[in-house]
């Protein structure tokens, strides 16, 4: 390719091309310059080798001089991408923290007649070598430089500020900063954290800098009133997560944790820690774009030095409000299943085929339903149960993660499959269920006992009897010792052991279950009275479309169901129990809590499925506010 051919392709004169490729184009407009440069790069044109002085000719070669390139693979990928987009090649030198090597690399770069340089200086003395580039007319864009005002770099102070501000939004006030010893990034993150605390008028305190290498670190964290931690380093984050887990502290129920993670680590499967992304790739890409704009005198497309737009939080799964700001948590014990819902015209009969008109699968089981129902209504719920090590277990954990449920009480049993229920739903909403208990039957009293810490500070135990009896008894005993109230749903029982008359605070059988436990009594009122006199302070017999009957001290009353058309009655009782517990916990009296729970049950049965049909607090309150607004007042 000759200069004449380049000129013809660009529609300009030969002299114009010559001026542009030899950097003598001060009087040529930017549109012409860019058009010519694009063609020159596309056709790999260089001036004739016979020309004696080509010191000013463009080489379309950029230099990258790093202080230490070992940890900047992702940034280099960004640099290469930006260079390739504009037709440039890259020449990379690594100084390995050596000033002597850096100077050798500087002379080599000048000899190679690069068009521009991305430079990360080794130290302050490196700046005395800047004249090599100014003398030869090589433009420089600084990267990660603490010695120049204008530099492309990660603003770790800003990231520390953002992490702290996020914790403050979650209502944390005493926040610690997890650091590496004598580490620049850690010091910058701590400074950003202090600035944020100051801006939000929160006090600084001694000991806010935490070092895992310090033997007193964990004691300071667990007994010093710290509720949220900002971590400057991913390795430290994972180490802290592991140590807290070994001490039976859990994230985010006991502590909130937020940190930083390089974009090169974003695809790796770590524990679900909330991290702001360190945008190394964007740093390299934007710095290289800026350098090319300078090289090509393109002032119309100069990106700013700020990388703020790339500081993005991955999720908020490891964040929670401090325990002192939350309602006391619920512990839920019950089956964990995959529910396969089958819509049919009529229930299966012996010798007949049954047409299924629709089917769907989702996480289910009474334990899952009640914990999700509580979480949707704004209360922290931790589920204790057992699943298999199979695809169904993954579906369940995904559903729990999406609903921000605590899963530290769930065991995996490699020797059994996850429980599965086949739910047949008729057009009138009535259901019949066939059930493979699977891993649910492997839950033991020892499993429950090992989760004793979860019962500390627990307000309600929501207990369903579709799990082994010994596990249920152990849970009821632990709840009693922790002064938690037990709400018992006696599903799947033919007789009720005597111990539950002493440990149950609220007994919620349906009509069929109540009749099973006292077949000698044929009225709802008489059955409720029987349970009440046996020692259960509150008895609520659910009656499906007929609402429920409540017997408690100074209360004997029928409550009508909420006015919803039934589509699938499977989860009505679970929605009722979770809403009842939430509103009793929130300070509503028993009558109002029952009435609100009836609305929650109505929402659930009006839609297909259970976990997908459980109502959230905003929707529930909006409906009640339009239908029965006085119900939401505490008067």
Could you report the per-residue pLDDT of 34-45, keeping only the tens digit for each?
899 888 877 667
pLDDT score for 225: 81
pLDDT score for 467: 94
Q: Any binding-site annotation on 544?
A: yes
pLDDT score for 102: 92
pLDDT score for 22: 85
CA distance 535 to 531: 7
Which residues, 6+ apart, have CB-to-CB distance to 407 below 8 Å?
A: 383, 397, 400, 401
Q: Any binding-site annotation on 339?
A: yes
Catalytic positions, please?
A: 574
pLDDT score for 634: 63
Handedness of CA 87, 89, 90, 91 (dihedral sign): negative
CA nearest to 503, candidates 530, 524, 474: 474
pLDDT score for 298: 81
Q: Any binding-site annotation on 574?
A: yes
Low-confidence stretches of the chain (pLDDT beneath 70): 1, 43-44, 46-56, 266-270, 299-304, 324, 326-328, 634-635
Strand 175-178 and strand 228-231: the pairing is parallel
pLDDT score for 324: 67
pLDDT score for 55: 56
Q: Any binding-site annotation on 367?
A: yes
Q: Any binding-site annotation on 457?
A: no
pLDDT score for 500: 96
* b/e 564-601 (16+ beta carbons within 10 angstroms → b): bebbbbbbbbbbbbbbbbbbbbeebebebbbbbbbbbb
* b/e 30-62 (16+ beta carbons within 10 angstroms → b): eebbbbbbebbeeeebebeeeeeebeebbebbb
């Amino acid at each position: 390719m000759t200069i004449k051919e380049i000129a013809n392709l660009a529609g300009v004169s030969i002299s114009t091309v010559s001026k542009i490729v030899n950097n003598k184009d001060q009087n040529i407009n930017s549109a012409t310059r860019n058009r010519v440069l694009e063609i020159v790069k596309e056709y790999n044109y260089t001036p004739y080798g016979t020309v004696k002085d080509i010191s000013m000719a463009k080489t379309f070669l950029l230099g990258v001089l790093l202080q230490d390139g070992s940890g900047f693979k992702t940034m280099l990928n960004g640099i290469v991408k930006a260079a390739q987009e504009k037709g440039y090649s890259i020449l990379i030198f690594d100084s390995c923290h050596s000033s002597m090597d850096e100077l050798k690399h500087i002379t080599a770069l000048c000899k190679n007649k690069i068009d521009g340089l991305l430079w990360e200086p080794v130290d302050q003395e490196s700046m005395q070598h800047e004249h090599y580039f100014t003398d030869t007319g090589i433009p420089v864009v600084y990267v990660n430089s603490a010695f120049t005002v204008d530099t492309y770099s990660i603003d770790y102070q800003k990231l520390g500020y953002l992490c702290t501000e996020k914790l403050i939004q979650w209502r944390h006030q005493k926040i610690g900063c997890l650091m590496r010893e004598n580490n620049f990034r850690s010091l910058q993150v701590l400074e950003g954290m202090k600035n944020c605390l100051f801006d939000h008028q929160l006090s600084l305190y001694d000991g806010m800098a935490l070092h895992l290498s310090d033997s007193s670190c964990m004691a300071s964290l667990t007994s010093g009133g710290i509720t949220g931690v900002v971590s400057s380093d991913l390795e430290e984050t994972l180490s802290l997560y592991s140590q807290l887990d070994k001490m039976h502290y859990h994230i985010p129920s006991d502590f909130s944790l937020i940190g930083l993670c390089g974009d090169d680590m974003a695809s790796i499967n770590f524990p679900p820690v909330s991290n702001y992304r360190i945008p190394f790739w964007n740093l390299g890409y934007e710095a290289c774009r800026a350098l090319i704009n300078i090289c090509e005198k393109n002032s119309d497309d100069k990106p700013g030095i700020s990388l703020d737009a790339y500081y993005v939080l991955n999720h908020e799964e490891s964040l929670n409000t401090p325990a002192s700001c939350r309602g006391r948590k619920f512990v839920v014990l019950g089956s964990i299943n995959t529910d396969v819902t089958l819509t049919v015209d009529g229930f299966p009969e012996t010798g007949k085929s049954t047409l299924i008109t629709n089917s769907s699968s989702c996480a289910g089981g009474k334990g899952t339903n009640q914990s999700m129902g509580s979480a949707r209504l704004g209360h922290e719920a931790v589920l204790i149960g057992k699943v298999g090590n199979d695809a169904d277990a993954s579906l369940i954990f995904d559903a729990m993660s999406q609903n921000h449920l605590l899963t530290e009480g769930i065991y995996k049993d490699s020797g059994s499959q996850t429980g599965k229920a086949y739910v047949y739903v008729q057009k009138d909403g009535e259901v019949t269920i066939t059930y493979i208990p699977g891993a649910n039957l492997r839950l033991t009293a020892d499993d429950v006992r090992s989760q004793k810490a979860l019962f500390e500070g627990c307000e309600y135990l929501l207990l369903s009897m579709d799990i082994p009896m010994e596990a249920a008894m152990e849970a009821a005993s632990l709840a009693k010792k922790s002064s938690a109230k037990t709400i018992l749903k006696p599903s799947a029982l033919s007789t009720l052991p005597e111990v539950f008359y002493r440990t149950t605070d609220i007994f919620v059988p349906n009509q069929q279950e109540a009749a099973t436990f006292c077949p000698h009594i044929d009225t709802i009122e008489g059955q409720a009275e029987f349970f009440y006199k046996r020692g259960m302070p509150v008895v609520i017999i659910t009656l499906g479309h007929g609402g429920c009957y409540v017997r408690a001290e100074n209360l004997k009353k029928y409550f009508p169901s909420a006015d919803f058309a039934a589509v699938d009655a499977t989860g009505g009782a679970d929605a009722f129990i979770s809403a009842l517990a939430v509103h009793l916990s929130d300070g509503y009296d028993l009558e109002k809590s029952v009435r609100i729970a009836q609305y929650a049950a109505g929402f659930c049965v009006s839609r297909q499925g259970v976990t997908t049909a459980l109502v959230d607090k905003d929707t529930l309150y909006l409906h009640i506010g339009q239908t029965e607004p006085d119900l939401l007042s505490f008067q």
